[in-house]
Amino acid sequence: MIKLKIPATSANLGAGFDALGLALSYYNYVEMEESDRVDIQSLDEMAVPVDETNLVYVSARDLFQVCGKQLKGMKIRQTNNIPMARGLGSSSACIIAGLVGANHILGSPLTKDDLVDLAAQIEGHPDNTAPALLGGIVTAVFDGRKVHWVKQEVYTKLKFTVMIPDFELKTEKARACLPKQVSHKDAVYNLSRAALFSASLLTGKLENLRTAVHDRLHQPYRMELIPRVREVFDIAYTHGAYGVYISGAGPAVMAIADVDNTYFSGKVRFSLENAGLTGWEVLDLTIDNEGTKIIT
């Protein structure tokens, strides 16, 4: 069996809807080998489909098909630390595990670029799948066939403190609430901030992040689906966050803070509890610059 380590991801980064994402130091593990039947188990309490609808399996089978091979079955063991349907790339982690694992099993017929493309075709957008594979912060444009991407490693003194509520928000629901059309003014509002975000993060002009995370394409609509989320934003800003945004499609909220803001997460946790927001877990993460690795 090979064993893969796949990072969680945070997509959109505020204004970069479907275009920007980064990998986080929070991991799923997947062991897999080819078999003559489908044999899937979760190694923790997280329930996963154990039949042919399992996303690791589906992705592995897609890769086999692309390479002209038929997959009869696979033995898969999953350890899922990344919570599902919270905006931290749990589906992308499964897709990337299936693709990278299957590609390795076949002797690596597909390149990294091919894997980025195939993952985006399965997921529909590249902002979680690309950083899950590549690590770092990834800027990606999916033209429907190919992904045009840049990965940049990040070595700033930042922590990414994620606040995760105890309820799920499925991406389909979080996308269904978005408007079909937006104004020219709102498009300009977003593209300028998305560009500002990566330039500021990578050059350390961190005071720009508070402006850069604002957007008019998805967060205002999704906030209506996440009870009391504005209070969560306010708490993180009160304790000195550089920027706060809905991670991916939500409902998790990401706060970017300085590593020298030593007690940031403790103070956020305390304030959330004081406000009666007891269902919110707070985790201190950093950027993962390596992406998915085969560890054994």
Residues near ligand HSE (CB under 6 A) are 11-12, 17-18, 125, 127-128, 171, 174-175, 218, 248-249
Residue among 17 and 64 whose Cβ is closer to ligand HSE: 17
Q: Which is nearer to ligand HSE, 12 or 54 (CB)?
A: 12
The least CB distance from residue 174 to ligand HSE, in Å, is: 6
Closest CA to 50 of 58, 62, 65, 39: 39
| Residue with smaller CB distance to ligand HSE, 30 or 249 | 249
Query: What's the distance, CA 153 to chain centroid?
Result: 16
Distance between CA 170 and CA 258 in Å, rounded? 31
Cβ 231 to ligand HSE, closest distance in Å? Answer: 22
Of 106 and 177, CB closest to ligand HSE: 177
Least separation in angstroms between residue 217's CB and ligand HSE is 9
Task: Say whether the peptide bond before residue 251 is cis (omega within 30 degrees of 0).
Answer: yes
Q: Report the residue number, 89 or 101, with the smaller CB distance to ligand HSE.
A: 89
Q: How far is the CB of 200 from ligand HSE (least distance, A)?
A: 20
CB of 60 to ligand HSE, least distance (A): 20
Pick 218 or 269: Cβ nearer ligand HSE = 218
Tokens of 202: 């990578």
CB of 263 to ligand HSE, least distance (A): 31
